[in-house]
């Protein structure tokens, strides 16, 4: 389980994440939705212990991320925003390095490496230097890193951002295949993705939670049953969103 309590992050007098609380349980695939700048990545960085909160706490599988960072991180897999990897390493070298960092040894090390290499179809690029890979392959290497230790909790920050439709489909299929026994949190601003993989959606804007429901129940809030319309009306006026209405957009375009 992930337990997030009154989580807040301030940069100077700017509040990026503002008193957020929620829990996520095994079997939940939580879509973390919000306009650019809403505070999704900042929240994920605090869940994974990458960034210290200004106040509030995060517990991962019972471990406080600040007080027991190693115990919490041992249960987590994290794909950071943009899926950064060590660009000058080969795919094999990078994954072996991550296996060492995670303390994998012997037969389990071999079988976990084989599993992620197979699952993400990396056999053909193992000896290639990461910086020479296409964007889709780089993302797959990042996902392989996140999955290597078979974590109970997966935090994926825009896992399909910048991928082509086929690659997006592959990543969604992968997430669906893992969803049953894990906790998965994915951030996205692609609403169709929420429909495709999530059984719960939190909409966040200006660092606050504005909605927390199933994608179906959220969509049903609009007469048209369309999630994008609900998203627009809920996040209207928040930072990172365009003027409120199409008419206002028109007016802005002709100003
Ligand atoms: N290191 C930082 N210093 C100052 N402001 C930051 C920093 N990191 C993020 N922010 C700001 O915090 C807000 C939330 O950012 P972020 O969590 O990356 O949003 P999202 O992932 O939802 O697009 C944005 O307005 C961003 O500019
Ligand atoms: Mg982000």
Q: Pairing mode, if any, of strands 153-157 and 183-188?
A: parallel
> Is position 171 within any domain?
no
**Tens-level pLDDT at each residue, the chain (255 residues):** 999 999 999 999 999 999 999 999 999 999 999 999 999 999 999 999 999 999 999 999 999 999 999 999 999 999 999 878 899 999 999 999 999 999 999 999 999 999 999 999 999 999 999 999 998 899 999 999 999 999 999 999 999 987 889 888 988 998 998 888 899 999 988 888 898 899 999 999 999 999 999 999 999 998 888 888 889 889 988 887 766 556 665 665 666
Distance 148 CA to ligand 2 centre (A): 23
Report the CATH number at residue 194: 3.40.50.300
> Is position 221 within any domain?
yes
Distance 155 CA to ligand 2 centre (A): 12
> Is position 247 within any domain?
no
d(CA 221, CA 237): 19
> Is position 26 within any domain?
yes
Overall pTM > 0.85? yes
From 37, 159, 204, mutation site for ligand 1 pocket: most ligand atoms within 8 A of C-beta: 37
> Is position 25 within any domain?
yes
> Is position 55 within any domain?
yes
Q: Give the domain range for residue 195.
A: 1-75+183-241
> Is position 15 within any domain?
yes
Number of domains in the chain: 1
Cα torsion angle, 73, 78, 82, 84, sign: positive
Q: Which helix (H) or strand (E) holds 208?
A: strand 208-213
Q: Which residues have a beta carbon within 5 Å of ligand 2, which is an ion?
A: 40-41, 81
Closest CA to 76 of 95, 56, 61, 91: 61
* Terminal Cα-to-Cα distance of the chain (whole angstroms): 50
Distance 56 CA to ligand 1 centre (A): 18
> Is position 188 within any domain?
yes
Which residue owns the Cα nearest ligand 1 atom 8?
42
């Amino acid at each position: 389980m992930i337990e997030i309590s009154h989580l807040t992050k301030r940069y100077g007098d700017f509040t990026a994440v503002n008193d957020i609380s929620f829990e996520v349980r095994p079997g939940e695939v939580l879509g973390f939705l919000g306009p650019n700048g809403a505070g999704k990545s900042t929240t994920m960085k605090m869940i994974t212990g990458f960034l210290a909160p200004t106040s509030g706490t995060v517990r991962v599988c019972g471990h406080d991320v600040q007080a027991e960072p190693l115990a919490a991180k041992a249960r987590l897999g994290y794909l950071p925003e943009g899926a950064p990897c060590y660009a000058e390493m080969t795919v094999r070298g990078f994954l072996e390095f991550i296996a060492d960092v995670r303390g994998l040894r012997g037969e389990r090390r071999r079988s976990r490496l084989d599993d992620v290499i197979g699952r993400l179809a990396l056999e053909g690029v193992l000896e290639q230097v990461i910086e020479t890979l296409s964007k889709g392959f780089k993302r797959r290497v990042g996902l392989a890193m996140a999955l290597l230790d078979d974590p109970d909790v997966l935090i994926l920050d825009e896992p399909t951002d910048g991928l082509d439709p086929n690659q997006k489909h592959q990543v969604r299929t992968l997430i669906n295949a893992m969803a049953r026994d894990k906790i998965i949190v994915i951030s996205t601003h692609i609403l169709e993705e929420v429909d495709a993989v999530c059984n719960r959606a939190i909409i966040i804007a200006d660092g606050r939670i504005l909605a927390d429901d199933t994608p179906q129940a959220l969509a049903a809030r609009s007469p048209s049953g369309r999630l994008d319309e609900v998203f627009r009306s809920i996040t209207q006026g928040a930072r990172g969103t365009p003027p409120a209405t199409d008419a206002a957009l028109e007016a802005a375009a002709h100003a």
